[in-house]
Each structure stands twice: as structure tokens, then as C-alpha cells.
Structure 1
Amino acid sequence: MRREDIDPRFFGDRLAYNRAVVLEQPRRWLVVAGHEARDDEGGIAAVGDIRGQIRLTFRRLGETLHTAGFALSDLVQIMIFTVDIEAVTANYDAVLSVLAEADCRPASLLAEVRALSDPRMLIEIEGLAAQ
């Protein structure tokens, strides 16, 4: 598969952001449902702690990718939904560190929503991966 990052423009270098990603001849796709910061028993973890929820959500996303034979670096798109966009932007370095460590620069969306499926959730991340 050949990958080309398109038009990172203003924020690309600082925010691991691309306006688009061109993929030629991917062999496999993985559509990843929204992930949240769940502990090992399935409860919401890091309640009230946006940094903790960001880190754990990406860890859970990585586990799902790994189970399917993918890695975080295979993500070509992520959508981050939050109930507190100011908290996420103030702690966006936690997102950037995960993406940088994985050498991942997906097309991305960050959006504030009125509510997520559990009122203790501050963030939910879904994605699209390709190989």
C-alpha cells in the first residue's frame, strides 16, 4: 500500500493533522467503533480526568487494532468526540504524544457533543485503519 498525506497546512506539523490521506491499493481495512476509557472490568475509568481518559482510550483503541492485526500507525482517520472541547484542547499534547510515539498522522476530527453514552465519559474516539 502506498500512503500520501495531503495538505497538512497550518496545523499539520504541530497537531499531527492531515486534511486527507490518499491510499493506493490497501489490502485490508478496519473500521473501528467508538472507544472510551474503560477499566478492565468495563467501568468508566479516570472519571473527571481528561488526560487519563485520553491515554486509556488510545490504549483501548490500540488493543483493538492489535487484536485485528493492525497498529496505531495504520490509522488513517480518527474522530474524537468530547463533551468538553476546552479540556481536550488544553490537554491535546496527550493526544499528540500517543500519535507521535506510534508515528501516526491521520486525517482527524475533534468535535464537542452534548453527551456521550455514559455521563462519566469525557471523550470517545473512533477510527479507520488500512494496511
Structure 2
Amino acid sequence: MKRTPVDPWEWNIKFGFHQGEVVEGHRRILVCAGQTALDENGEVVQPGDMAAQIGLALDNVEAVLHEAGMRLSDVVRLNQYTTDMELYLQHVGVMGKRLEAAGIAPPGTLLQVSGLAFPGLVVELEATAVA
């Protein structure tokens, strides 16, 4: 698979994402449901703890990727939803380090929402991967 960043501007690079990516030579696409800080029983973990929930939501994204025979480096789009933008931006480095280690800066959308599926959830990640 070949990924070519598309960045008509460069301001976004410091925020860890590309404006777009051309993806060629792939054979499979995984569209992942939004992942949150839920455990294997569907219970909220670390209610209200933004840093912990970012890491746990990304763990859950990686679990779905693994089940599909993919890795974090296969993610080509990552949408992010949070109930508290200011707090999210203070802790997004938790995810940034892991994306950087995987060698990716996927395009995506970051939105503040009034609520998520269950009380206590503060972040949700929605990924698309190709391999």
C-alpha cells in the first residue's frame, strides 16, 4: 500500500494530521465503529478522565484493527469526538505519540459534541483503515 500526503498548506502538520492522503495498492478496507473507553463487558472505564479515555479508546481501535488483521499504521482516517474540546486538546498528546510511533498522521475531523453513548464517556474515535 502506498500513501501520499496531500497538504496544500503546512499549518496542520504541527497538529499531527494531513489534509488528505491518496491511498493506492490496497485490497481491504475496514470501517470501524466509534470506539470509546468501554471494557469487554460494555462498561465505562475511567469515567470523565480524558487522558485515560483517549488511551483506552485508541486501545479499542487497535483491538478492532488486530481482529481484522491490521495495525494502527493502516489507519487512513481518524475522526475524533469529545464532550470537552479544551480538555481534549490538553491531553491529545496521549494519542499523538502513538500515531507518530505508528508513522501516521491520518486526516480526520475533530468535533465537540454534547454527549456520547453512555454517561462518563468524554471521547470517541472513529477509524477507517486499509491494507
The interval holding the TM-score normalised by the smaller chain is: over 0.9
In structure 2, what is the Cα distance between the partners aligned to 1:108 and 1:60?
A: 18
In structure 2, what is the Cα distance between the partners aligned to 1:56 and 1:103?
A: 20
Partner residue of 1:84? 84
Partner residue of 1:9? 10
Percentage of pairs with the same residue: 31
- Give the SS at the match of 1:124: strand
Matched to 1:107, the amino acid is: P
RMSD: 1.2
Partner residue of 1:104? 104
In structure 1, runs of 5+ residues without a counterpart are none
Partner residue of 1:49? 49
Residue by residue, what CA displacement relative to the aligned partner does 1:30-56 show, whole Å, maximum 9, x if unpaired? 001100001233210011210000000
In structure 2, what is the Cα distance between the partners aligned to 1:95 and 1:110?
A: 13
Matched to 2:24, the amino acid is: E
How many residues in Structure 1 have an aligned counterpart in Structure 2? 130
Residue by residue, what CA displacement relative to the aligned partner does 1:5-35 show, whole Å, maximum 9, x if unpaired? 11061021x2220000101232110001100
The reply on whether 1:130 has 2:111 as its aligned counterpart is: no
* Runs of at least 4 residues off by over 6 Å: none
Partner residue of 1:36? 36
Q: Shift of residue 120 of structure 1?
A: 1.0
In structure 1, what is the Cα distance between the partners aligned to 2:24 and 2:67?
A: 24
Residue by residue, what CA displacement relative to the aligned partner does 1:87-116 show, whole Å, maximum 9, x if unpaired? 101112112112112222101211101111
In structure 2, what is the Cα distance between the partners aligned to 1:44 and 1:78?
A: 21
Q: TM-score normalised to the size of structure 2?
A: 0.94
Higher strand share: 1
In structure 2, what is the Cα distance between the partners aligned to 1:78 and 1:41?
A: 24
